[in-house]
Chains A and B, each alone.
Chain A
Amino acid sequence: MKRPGSALVMVLYLLFLLIPIYWLVNMSFKTNAEITRSFTLFPHDLTFQNYRTILTDPSWYMGYVNSLTYVVLNTAISITVALPAAYAFSRYRFLGDKHLFFWLLTNRMAPPAVFALPFFQLYSSVGLFDTHIAVALAHCLFNVPLAVWILEGFMSGVPKEIDETAYIDGYSFPRFFVKIFMPLIASGIGVAAFFCFMFSWVELLLSRTLTSVNAKPIAATMTRTVSASGLDWGVLAAAGVLTLIPGGLVIWFVRNYIAKGFALGRV
């Protein structure tokens, strides 16, 4: 389909996506005086002060460290527990398997708002409030079902004969799983990890409810600073731009599998 019409559609759509992002980037390089007093399409008075504020103040940059810590923890936990479960679902039928699978998915459907308060009480009572692991565990609620779902899709694409051949060759289950099976679905694992990363990174309601100081995510830092210091638009925009970077990096790594991954391995 090499038609100019297609190119035009894509250019218009991408412009629609990028212009709001451009406006954020643009604002992050302006001084507050320029933002509020004049209206300029690009920074006339280019400044890096907004970024310097964030990168030199621990109460700002620790937000990024906290967010990345619990996101990585969550991704590791989710993938580790989801791998064997997805294998079970893709290879075997067992008592209550369909109900269990649907029950798992219902957790992906649960509104975080419903869980915010009970989570707060649960994690406070076991002494995990304001720790990275609390947020990581809370995010497992929706990431584990999703990881199981994606991995199951990818695993079903691997012929069962491979398992059987490996067992005949004398492989034990754990050795077969790690040495032969996991490399075969490496792209699936990558995609599942990407999705866990993504949904944990973008979530705010639970991570904000479960933290106060030590594990406060960057997203929450942003909301509080806005209300406290009035309208520091430049710093707010710079903080926003910095949250785009981890996402951009992981997209780059999975770019070839992204479309298949969004279809949850079912294409």
Chain B
Amino acid sequence: MEKSWNNRAWFLVLPVLALVAFSAVVPLMTVVNYSVQDTFGNNEFFWAGLEWFEETVTSERIHAALGRQVLFTAIILAIEVPLGIFVALHMPKKGFWASLCLILMAMPLLIPFNVVGTIWQIFGRVDIGLLGRTLTALGIDYNYTNDWLDAWVTVIVMDVWHWTSLVALLCYAGLQSIPEAYYQAAKIDQASRWAVFRYIELPKMRGVLLIAVLLRFMDSFMIYTEPFVVTGGGPGNSTTFLSIDLVKMAIGQFDLGPAAAFSIIYFLVILLISWVFYTVMTNLDREDRP
């Protein structure tokens, strides 16, 4: 759609601007303020320059947390995206069963994060959980509270359980927009199932898949509550992701300076990657919208 130039449109944006500025810019300034100061208590602050930033960039503890975070995000994207597409391709197209599938699939998305953690905690426990009991009965030595590999598997399966539906629902929405005639044409050309997927379905899902990857990337990169409830960041530090580490630092130990520097770097990393996604996405949008 051709948009007309009108600077008075700013008045319509003003309420949003005021609200978000209050709840984003002011707190962000506080963070920046802390990141360059040091304190010995009593609300006395001293200029610390870039000390905290240097500490953050060179801290091995944060490197380790970042490494775990990247690995976690990579694994869940590698599982959730293909699985989501696969499920979307097999969903019923319309009618009662389609509605039922949609509703049931959306269920995990509306469960409060800590209840998701609780569900998997009591599902996975060796003494009272169905999963833990079953695996033990099968002769598998599974205990997510003291084995780091089991903890990782539990946290990843939990995230797949929680969020694959989001990817699937997005892909389903993309598939719904494909006219039946495309499939008929493919049938006449005797296109294989793979060719239909590669040249009809995948291009139509491109836009929504980008949204899905963007949302999943952002949210998994700042995951906090679910792993915290299940494993508490342990055993040891094996499931301490960036947010868990940050909250430990800021609210647990009250190390404001380092925590603030850490926050800023953390935010910038997410921002940078999301900006790349966003630019790609809007460019695609422009091609799609005549």
Contacts and interface: CB of A to CB of B under 8 A. Distances in A.
Given A141-B24, A262-B173, A233 B225 contact: no
B10 A137 contact: no
A122 B127 contact: no
Nearest to A139: B23
A73 interface: no
Interface in B58-116: 86-87, 90-93, 99, 101-115
A85 B26 CA distance: 21
B106 to A, nearest CB: 5
A212 to B, nearest CB: 14
Contact of A91 (B9, B174, B270): B9
A75 to B, nearest CB: 14
Interface stretch (B45-53, B117-125, B142-150): B117-125
Interface in A101-137: 102, 104-119, 121-122, 137
A250 to B, nearest CB: 7
B186 to A, nearest CB: 13
Contacts of A186: none
B128 A35 contact: yes
A106 B271 CA distance: 7
B267 A114 contact: yes
A55 interface: no
Contacts of B266: 111, 114
Nearest to B229: A223
Contacts of A209: 251
A144 B19 contact: yes
Contacts of A14: 101, 104-105
Interface string B127-170: 11111010000000000000000000000000001000110011
Contact of A198 (B109, B122, B133): B109
Interface residues of A, number: 99
A215 interface: no
Interface secondary structure of B, over-half rule: helix
A21 B119 contact: yes
A85 B28 contact: no
A250 B111 CA distance: 12
B173 A267 contact: yes
A17 B101 CA distance: 11
A74 to B, nearest CB: 11
A188 to B, nearest CB: 14
Interface string B249-261: 0110000100100
Nearest to A100: B13
A20 B27 CA distance: 38
B198 to A, nearest CB: 17
Nearest to A80: B15
B101 A16 contact: no
B20 interface: yes
User: DSSP class of A's interface residues: helix, strand, loop or mixed?
Assistant: helix
A114 B105 contact: no
A109 B107 contact: no
A85 B12 contact: yes
Given A118-B31, A262-B173, A201 B285 contact: no
Interface string B217-242: 01001101100010000000000001
A152 B120 CA distance: 37
B1 A156 contact: yes
A17 B127 CA distance: 22
B128 A36 contact: yes
Interface string A23-34: 110010000000
B267 A247 contact: no
Given A20-B120, A117-B259, A247-B110, A266 B208 contact: yes
A198 B109 CA distance: 8
A266 B161 contact: no
Interface in B1-48: 1-10, 12-13, 15-17, 19-20, 22-24, 26-28, 30-31
B9 A92 contact: yes
B111 A81 contact: no
Interface of B: 1-10, 12-13, 15-17, 19-20, 22-24, 26-28, 30-31, 86-87, 90-93, 99, 101-115, 118-120, 122-123, 127-131, 133, 161, 165-166, 169-170, 172-174, 176-177, 207-208, 211, 218, 221-222, 224-225, 229, 242-243, 246-247, 250-251, 256, 259, 263, 266-267, 270-271, 274-275, 278, 285, 289
8 contacts: A19-B123, A23-B129, A39-B128, A111-B246, A117-B251, A198-B110, A201-B112, A246-B110
Given A114-B31, A140-B20, A156-B1, 19 more contacts: A21-B119, A23-B122, A85-B16, A88-B13, A89-B13, A102-B278, A110-B24, A111-B263, A111-B267, A144-B16, A144-B20, A145-B20, A198-B110, A202-B110, A259-B170, A259-B173, A263-B173, A263-B207, A267-B174
